[in-house]
Structure 1
Amino acid sequence: MSENVLKVAGLKVAYGGIKAVKGIDLEVNKGELVTLIGANGAGKTTTLKAITGTLPDCKVEGTVSYMGQSLKGSKSFHLVERKLAMVPEGRGVFTRMTITENLMMGAYTRDDKAGIEADIEKWFGIFPRLKERSAQLAGTLSGGEQQMLAMARALMCHPTLLLLDEPSMGLSPIMVDKIFEVIRNVSKEGITILLVEQNAKLALQAAHRGYVMDSGLVTMTGNARDMLDDPRVKAAYLGE
């Protein structure tokens, strides 16, 4: 039987009278890359923020379990200690810190100095542009460079579960290809990933399973390869 890393059941999120998420179920099993696709405003980012407890004041119902334990009441900064990391939409880098300092912040829960230094060198090897600019303030980087940094920083804590929110947003095609190459490689290393992405084709090509979200509801789920060939997905999300 597959081991659940993340299980969301009956999740509802309402801002006043506006229901952003209307009772969804989803799960991510150990070692899976699962993608959540859908149009703008479908409720995808709200779902990720509900999982991590980073929503503004609103009404949240349902259950979110990580490694078999409820996340209810967990502070977002405690999640990193529990090996749950998120790369938020908009990257969220520490703009007044250097690239190296950002990476070290990603490892703040660790005390293995040699291991941290080795991981920084590993990510500099994967993203040479970050190494070239290692002493540069993160706020001066391009959007693509900031996305590289945000992903590397999140992976510095050696997460069991990595949440990615719109990693390709606003990036050039070349940069999007690089980011997805890294996502696939991280998945091959055995890190469990939940990917929220508007580029449905790339997301489904990379993922094992997919969920389609529309107007706060999950309207379809299945094997990612099968979904690529589904005429409903093609018509709605792949422009075919």
Structure 2
Amino acid sequence: MAVNATKNVLKIAGLKVAYGGIKAVKGIDIEVNEGELVTLIGANGAGKTTTLKAITGTLPACKVEGTISYLGQSLKGTQSFHLVERKLAMVPEGRGVFTRMSIRENLMMGAYTRTDQAGIEDDIAKWFDVFPRLKERSAQLAGTLSGGEQQMLAMARALMCHPHLLLLDEPSMGLSPIMVDKIFQVIRDVSQQGITILLVEQNAKLALEAAHRGYVMDSGAITMTGNAQDMLHDPRVKAAYLGE
């Protein structure tokens, strides 16, 4: 899918987040354009998840400064449950599935803003084809699934709303290598369908291999940005994040 580099889907400017005297995010700028897969990499505690929570309005009480625009409109004051109506979906760290609902019910919840019942059923069938394990267990409670199965479900549920922007927070965390490969294959496939993605990920190598562009975050600040393939071969990125 060709990337439209002229159209901002997400634009973060001068974002600062402080918890009391602790500055978690220190005035960062990030842009994600139409059709791009952009990754935000960095060590644990760098401020990556805080940045995603600032976008979705799910931060605990803290001081937030700067601007966050989605499709040219400010997200300030937007309640998180309205974001899905605007086709902005997030797969949170820890998956966040509805544990006491079945797999199928979770997918239906992902489509709660839609009224096209036939289309919803088509999408459920589509994601069951992508993730056959979910199809086999469609009536099973989500809370009884393995971590990898829950990650599959969380991604499929987010995609049920046909998002214009998909936020992914640490999708590989705690998964087996085989499951990580499966999840990243789906991320690449979704990107090739033209869905715009902002990916937060500690596995810098996989993230940069999948992405068009990357940002490196360290101690609340953006320290590097560029073409993802160039960053893969940058000695500084190799030394700090790729173990080379």
For normalisation by structure 1, the TM-score amounts to 1.00
1:231 aligns with 2:235: yes
Question: What is aligned with 1:62?
Answer: 66
State how 1:9-88 maps to structure 2 within 5 Å: 9-88=13-92
> Using the alignment, how far apart are the partners of 1:32 and 1:140 within structure 2?
34
Q: Distance in 1 between matches of 2:20 and 2:146?
A: 37
Distance (Å, rounded) in 2 between the aligned partners of 1:101 and 1:40: 33
Distance in 2 between residues matched to 1:88 and 1:65, nearest whole Å: 20
Question: 1:2, CA displacement in angstroms?
Answer: 1.1
Which consecutive segments of 4 or more residues in structure 1 shift more than 3 A?
A: none
Q: Secondary structure at the match of 1:95?
A: coil
Partner amino acid for 1:122? K
Aligned-residue RMSD, C-alpha: 0.4
State the match for 1:93 in structure 2: 97
Instruction: For 1:233, give the aligned amino acid.
Output: V
Distance in 1 between residues matched to 2:232 and 2:6, nearest whole Å: 24
Using the aligned pairs only, state the percent identity. Answer: 88
Match of 2:219 in 1: 215
CA distance in 2, matches of 1:191, 1:52: 18
Tell me the secondary structure at the aligned position of residue 32 of structure 2.
strand
Partner of 1:156: 160
Q: Which residue of 2 aligns with 1:102?
A: 106
CA distance, structure 2, for counterparts of residue 87 and residue 55 of structure 1: 15
Tell me, what secondary structure is at the counterpart of 2:122? helix
Cα offsets for 1:62-82 (capped at 9, x unmatched): 000000000000000000000
Confirm or deny that 1:190 pairs with 2:194.
Answer: yes
Aligned counterparts of 2:74 and 2:116: Cα–Cα separation in 1: 29
Q: What whole-Å deviation, never above 9, does each CA across 1:61-102 have from its counterpart, x for those lacking one?
A: 000000000000000000000000000000000000000000
SS in 2 for 1:218: strand
- Structure 1 residue 140 corresponds to structure 2 residue 144: yes
Kindly tell me the number of residue pairs found equivalent between the two proteins: 240
Indicate whether 1:178 and 2:200 are aligned: no
Q: Extract unaligned runs of 5+ from structure 1.
A: none
Shift of 1:15: 0.3
Alignment-mate amino acid for residue 211 of structure 1: Y
| Counterpart AA for 2:110 | G
Cα distance in structure 1, aligned partners of 2:227 and 2:165: 20
TM-score, length of structure 2 as denominator length: 0.98
